[in-house]
Structure 1
Amino acid sequence: MNELLYGFAFVAALIVALVMTPLVKRFAIWVGAVDAPNHRKVHTRIMPRLGGLAIYLAFIAAFMMIIPALDSYHANAAWGLLIGGSIIVLVGALDDRFELSPKLKLLGQIAAAVVVVVVFDLKVEFVKIPFGESTTLGEWISIPLTIIWIVGVTNAINLIDGLDGLAAGVSAIATTTTLIMAIMMGNVTVIVLCAILLGSILGFLVYNFHPAKIFMGDSGALFLGFALATLSILGFKQTTLVSFVVPLLILGVPLSDTFFAIIRRILNRTPISVADKSHLHHCLLQAGFSHRSTVLIIYGIASLFGVCAIVLSQVALWVALVAIPLLLLALHIGAEAIGIFSQTRKPMINWFKKLRTHSRMMK
């Protein structure tokens, strides 16, 4: 019975997204929600955005179809995502049309997060130190911690939305990984919501993959980030070492790109809020990869993060304690190699080169 529900939710969202995206494209052009090319963007012609509205409408439509099949607890969690997501989509849609100030967008994101955390009580509840006892988190810690997580992930997805199909594809991979994890844990709420979200994304991606016919805009990027952050809370409410790392790995591409952007701007002594062209996709393009190849490479990296998340969730704690630092080291070296921090400043790679030279001299 549940399998039929999951399949129906996915197919319903997929079909609605396929039907709604062309209509939303016409609507975006009609209201003037278009994206003009500039020195930071890779597209060369005016493109309609507001595509996130199609993802959102598909999500709502499929949700309304399956809501009778959910019990009161499941419905409460789902409504939290839906109402908070509605606030996010409204903020994003207004930005797609009128280009809101960063402060106003942040205020809207915080308001949506507060709805999920305070009104619907979806938050990280307790933490478990490795090899130690579980400790219940007070609300003065759990509430701001969860709000920061939701706002951070929401913006991380928005930051990687720089190429055709990039944010949508990475979000689809993250949603698939979360779906697999939810199936392994038997979390019906997360399974249903992931199935709906995945169908909505894939239906839109048909029109958004290179060469894109429509951009998702902030309405889509913010909604996807918000949805993924909320789903990760529903799936991993206990903050153990592994359950804390798993959602970080699931969202590894957008979160690491955001972290590297902050470090890069600190090193270059530029304001954190000032945009640049040194994100992961920019670096791969500068390395000579085509638009489509760059997107597919990042899909591969996101998939690798997803596999690591699934594997780490199943291994012994000591294996995770060994694997996590190695993953972080590999991530840092890879970032240095493609010039995310700087084209000239590569301390870790230079250190390994000196170490190799020294070892050769010792021989």
Structure 2
Amino acid sequence: MSESEAFQIKKYQTLQKIHQGDVPRLGGVSVALGLIIFTYLNQNTIYFDFLFKISLAAIPFFLVSLIEDVYHNIKPIIRFFAISLSAILFVYFSGFSLTKVQTPVLDFFMHYETFSFFFTVIALVSITNAFNIIDASNGIASLTFTVVSLSLFIASSFFQDPFIQYLSLSMAILPVGFLVLNFPLGKIFLGDSGAYLLGFLIGALVIVFFIRNPDAPKWLAILMLAYPFFELIFSFLRKILLRQSPFEPDKKHLHLMVNDLTQSIYKKMNTKRHSNLRANNMNTITLVFFWLSPLYFVYVHLAYHIPIFNLLTFYINIYLFFYLFVSNTLRDKK
């Protein structure tokens, strides 16, 4: 392939595409501009150091994924390495490394600085990728980001951490401008650059919260990030069991199967006008329990001391039940 062919704008085609028409995948640019403006406005505050370092660290993966959004020619493994580089840069220059995760075996090794460093990097890379996995329906990744931000605000309020309170509440409104055009209008998409950026930002903020608040139960992080976390874990395990590459996309994600189901329903209804857009928006509404309930669960745990294990068990059971229900329904329709 020649250099001119490599950087020729092509129509976006992927196994996981569920929309019709050519919709610009440049929502990440609006999120990035919002982050830059927010960082500039805080240049004389205690928040600037964190915002400046995370903004600089995000540059490698943001540029690579932005090229993918425009030209669609960047392999998943290259994006993965770019995200890993950004995570390494952030953890190294910020000095934030997890030292305790309330898991005996891991906590033993977390005393070693190198292990702690790379564990934190892997955690940040995983969260970043998880947000890209769930970004398939209008608004779902942005709304999940806002829910996790508000969950962090609640947690930081309980632990009286004004630093995280301010940042989490501010982050919650970061994608609002994008959401106006994306859900339910579908005029613009986040793209890889936007989904990765949201995941990177919230992942870093979650990590910093638990470092600043050692008394906060570490498993609360999984409760906050329940939807993207379980989508990532379930997707990884499913592909490994099926002997598929974890880096290659498939159509077995919950949101993609829900889309197939809603599309079939609209076809039966003979709804011709904007049926694809309606089905896309309906996916986000149908999955509201999975991306919204963690906000309630975090509050319930902190306010009423309901064990995190019980809440996670309930969440996982609902997820598995719904996944099997949708999967079996689609199989019966074939």
Q: Which TM bucket (shorter chain)?
A: 0.7 to 0.9
Provide the aligned C-alpha RMSD in A: 3.0
CA distance in 1, matches of 2:103, 2:22: 51
CA contact (8 A) 2:102 2:218 kept: no
CA contact (8 A) 1:182 1:191 kept: yes
Counterparts in 2 of 1:265 and 1:307: CA distance versus 1, 3 Å: same
Counterparts in 2 of 1:164 and 1:327: CA distance versus 1, 3 Å: closer
> SS at the partner of 1:211?
coil
What residue is the counterpart of 2:49 in the other structure? 76
CA distance in 2, matches of 1:303, 1:193: 20
CA contact (8 A) 2:219 2:308 kept: no
What residue is the counterpart of 1:24 in the other structure? none
Given candidates 60, 65, 85, the residue that maps to 1:87 is: 60
Q: State the TM-score, normalizing by the size of structure 2.
A: 0.81
Counterparts in 2 of 1:267 and 1:194: CA distance versus 1, 3 Å: same
Counterparts in 2 of 1:226 and 1:39: CA distance versus 1, 3 Å: closer
Given candidates 312, 316, 323, the residue that maps to 1:328 is: 316
CA distance in 2, matches of 1:116, 1:253: 24
Cα deviation code 1:49-86 (max 9, x no counterpart): 1210111111110221123132xxx4333333222223
CA contact (8 A) 2:290 2:319 kept: no
Counterparts in 2 of 1:134 and 1:241: CA distance versus 1, 3 Å: farther
Which segment drifts farther, 329-338 or 207-216?
329-338
What residue is the counterpart of 1:296 in the other structure? 285
CA distance in 1, matches of 2:12, 2:103: 49
CA distance in 2, matches of 1:33, 1:122: 39
Task: Say which one has the larger Rg.
Answer: 1
Counterparts in 2 of 1:33 and 1:232: CA distance versus 1, 3 Å: farther
Deviation (angstroms), 1:254: 1.3
CA distance in 1, matches of 2:74, 2:14: 18
What residue is the counterpart of 1:121 in the other structure? 95
What residue is the counterpart of 2:179 in the other structure? 205
Cα deviation code 1:64-109 (max 9, x no counterpart): 1123132xxx433333322222333222212222332222212211
Given candidates 238, 244, 250, the residue that maps to 1:264 is: 238
Counterparts in 2 of 1:34 and 1:308: CA distance versus 1, 3 Å: farther
Which segment drifts farther, 81-90 or 100-109?
81-90
CA distance in 2, matches of 1:186, 1:241: 12
What residue is the counterpart of 1:312 in the other structure? 301
Given candidates 67, 70, 87, the residue that maps to 1:97 is: 70
CA distance in 1, matches of 2:301, 2:197: 28
| Number of matched pairs | 307
> SS at the partner of 1:47?
coil
CA contact (8 A) 1:127 1:137 kept: no
> SS at the partner of 1:48?
coil
Identical-pair percentage: 21
Deviation (angstroms), 1:225: 0.6
Q: Are 1:47 and 2:23 counterparts? A: yes
Q: Are 1:193 and 2:167 counterparts? A: yes
CA contact (8 A) 1:50 1:220 kept: yes
Deviation (angstroms), 1:147: 0.4
Q: State the TM-score, normalizing by the size of structure 1.
A: 0.75
CA contact (8 A) 1:124 1:238 kept: no
CA distance in 1, matches of 2:128, 2:216: 22
CA contact (8 A) 1:77 1:189 kept: no
What residue is the counterpart of 2:140 in the other structure? 166
Q: What are structure 2's unaligned runs of at least 5 residues?
A: 1-6, 266-278
What residue is the counterpart of 1:63 in the other structure? 39
Cα deviation code 1:196-225 (max 9, x no counterpart): 322221111001113311111111001001
What residue is the counterpart of 2:325 in the other structure? 337
CA distance in 2, matches of 1:321, 1:255: 15
Deviation (angstroms), 1:151: 0.4
CA distance in 1, matches of 2:216, 2:312: 9
CA contact (8 A) 1:236 1:244 kept: yes
Counterparts in 2 of 1:321 and 1:275: CA distance versus 1, 3 Å: closer
Q: What are structure 1's unaligned runs of at least 5 residues?
A: 1-30, 345-363
